[in-house]
Amino acid sequence: MNRSLWAVAVLAALSFAVFLLPACAESEQAKSIPVVSTGSSAEGLSKATFAGGCFWCMEPPFDKLDGVVSTTSGYAGGAEPNPTYESVSAGRTSHAEVVQIVFDSEKVSYEELLHVFWRNVDPLTPDRQFCDGGRQYRTAIFAHDAEQLAAAIASRGALISEGRFDQPIVTEVAEVGTFTAAESYHQDYYQRNPIRYKYYRGGCGRDKRLEALWGSEAGGGMAAPQF
């Protein structure tokens, strides 16, 4: 089920539907042509791309970091051209939902972004994140250059060596390839639709699972977004 429709259903059950417009209507009115990026960035800035399930939920923890200039929800890790939310969410492409981060490396390091990434995902479950299942919701680190690739592999290796988990870490590390920005109605969803976002995230069990995995480190040491 489309996440927007799922969130509306939860809200209806909780008697909040009176405050909401139909999600499908919002989607049709707000759709825009996706923007394709090959990974270039403004001078002096860098990019990082992470897959952690629902891209709505991966923007907030990075937006809170000093040095992060922007976060963009989108699609990466697939070979098919012109991915859309309809095709990706239905599993008709090999893409994953991702968040692409533009950051100032003099203020926040790639290693710090990796730290936040890990503590916002379940790295033990293949092809699923919380209530969202399928390869499109796998966890992955998509590196933009050889330095990021090495750092990502080292970060995953350190987490394995730490022995925190008694299950294997299944998060993949790969080159980013082509990134396609998601439709405009997905961008900054948690800010523009805070009630829907809150009940989607809570109903999906994301924070409960993150706390079980990471304890006080869940979210990267930052408080979960409040609305």
Q: Concatenated DSSP letters for 178-213?
A: -EEEPPGGGTTHHHHSHHHHHHHHHHHTHHHHHHHH
Which is more confident, 113 or 44?
113
Confidence of residue 202 (pLDDT cuts 50, 70, 90): very high
This prediction's pTM: 0.82
Is 54 noted as a catalytic residue in this protein? yes
- Name the average pLDDT for the chain: 85
pLDDT at 9: 52
pLDDT at 6: 52
| Element spanning 110, H or E | helix 110-118
pLDDT at 14: 42
pLDDT at 10: 47
Query: Beta strands 46-52 and 96-103: pairing type?
Result: antiparallel
pLDDT at 191: 98
What is the per-residue pLDDT across 4-57, written as a single tens digit (0 to 9) for each?
555 545 444 443 332 333 332 334 333 443 444 444 456 689 999 999 999 999
What is the per-residue pLDDT across 159-169, written as a single tens digit (0 to 9) for each?
999 999 999 99
What is the per-residue pLDDT across 127-160, written as a single tens digit (0 to 9) for each?
999 999 999 999 999 999 999 999 999 999 999 9
pLDDT at 220: 74
- CA dihedral 81→84→86→90, nearest 10 degrees, is 50
> Which amino acid is located at 86 in the chain?
E
